[in-house]
Amino acid sequence: MRTAFIETLFELAQRDERITLVVGDVGFGVVTRFMQGLPKQFVNAGVAEQNMTGLAAGMALSGKIVFTYSIANFPVLRCFEQIRNDVCYHNANVKIVAVGGGMAYGSLGMTHHATEDLAVMRALPNMTIVAPSDPIEAGLATRAIVAHAGPCYLRLGRAGEATIHTPNVAFQLGKAIQVREGNALTLLATGGLLQNVLHVADALARRGIQSRVLSMHTVKPLDNAAVLAAARETRAIFTVEEHSVVGGLGSAVAELLAESDVPAVKFKRIGLKGTFSSATGDQEYLRSVYGLDAAGILRTVEETLAL
């Protein structure tokens, strides 16, 4: 995803000198082409994320479209006050990019796990939150947030994500992408877990259970219409995210359902159960430990629906 992001950003920045990339002294294997090709639109702020965010806010208020870029939770949690006060309060045109959402930096431990970022960013006024599922969505999301005036958070995978969509897939901020049709149950996925969710849908289909699968690439604003349609038309909804079940996609869907007038629907959040990861290993291993691999997600669906 990060390659799709930087290639798209470089293409757009060549045509629009307002676009500026500010990095926290990371990612040079990825951002070097941008740095060398557009040196006047590139700043290395050093390992100083608070300064990076304040700098970006000032540049944005001077007319720039500014992207900040760092890994995991560093461009979010370490500088949250600056995001709140400098970026969101002024509705500044700053796009915060985190590479390695969830447990992508698995073996580096909980300091490098982004598992509360969606929750804290959802709480901020004026913030749009996008977590694409594959390189196609990542490129389209980059174009969309450049065109969107105001603060955005782009949560990317680290590397190697499979391509799920075709290049001509329709992408719109706040509008879910329906990947599979079905009326038995609905699986709502955000970020890099969409491929695992599709494996689950395939396994259920072999048993005659047709699952509706939605890529919820935009966590805020949520596609309320798609969620409410799923509640009316299928017997259960599952949200799947590599994030705490507190405050992320599952919480957003739960809040919507609780305040809606749709009939009661069985609902389950699949994610980290409000805990830090205490295990050590790569991302795939950690997903298996916390029930976020295809087998774990399927097991939760089966237990919830007594299949």
**How far apart (Å, rounded) are the C-alpha atoms in residues 246 and 75?**
20
Residue-wise pLDDT tens digits, 78-95: 999 999 999 999 999 999
pLDDT for residue 180: 97
In contact, 160 and 185? CB cutoff 8 Å? no
Tell me which DSSP letter residue 93 carries. Answer: -
- Mean predicted confidence (pLDDT) in 18-40: 94
The burial class, CB within 10 Å (0-12 / 13-18 / 19+), for 195 is middle
15 pLDDT above the threshold of 80: yes
166 pLDDT above the threshold of 90: yes
Q: What percent of the chain has pLDDT over 70?
A: 100
- Mean predicted confidence (pLDDT) in 151-166: 92
- Mean predicted confidence (pLDDT) in 65-72: 96
pLDDT for residue 128: 98
Q: What percent of the chain has pLDDT over 90?
A: 93
**How far apart (Å, rounded) are the C-alpha atoms in residues 41 and 230?**
44
254 pLDDT above the threshold of 90: yes
pLDDT for residue 159: 74
Confidence of residue 29 (pLDDT cuts 50, 70, 90): confident
Residue 114 main-chain phi, psi, to 5 deg: -95, 90
- Mean predicted confidence (pLDDT) in 206-222: 98
For 18-39, the DSSP string reads: TEEEEESS--HHHHHHHHHH-G
248 pLDDT above the threshold of 90: yes
In contact, 65 and 19? CB cutoff 8 Å? yes
- Mean predicted confidence (pLDDT) in 148-172: 94
- Mean predicted confidence (pLDDT) in 25-33: 90
Burial 183-194 (b: 16+ CB within 10 A, else e): eebbbbbbbbbb
Q: Which domains does the chain have, with CATH numbers?
A: 2-156 (3.40.50.970), 177-305 (3.40.50.920)
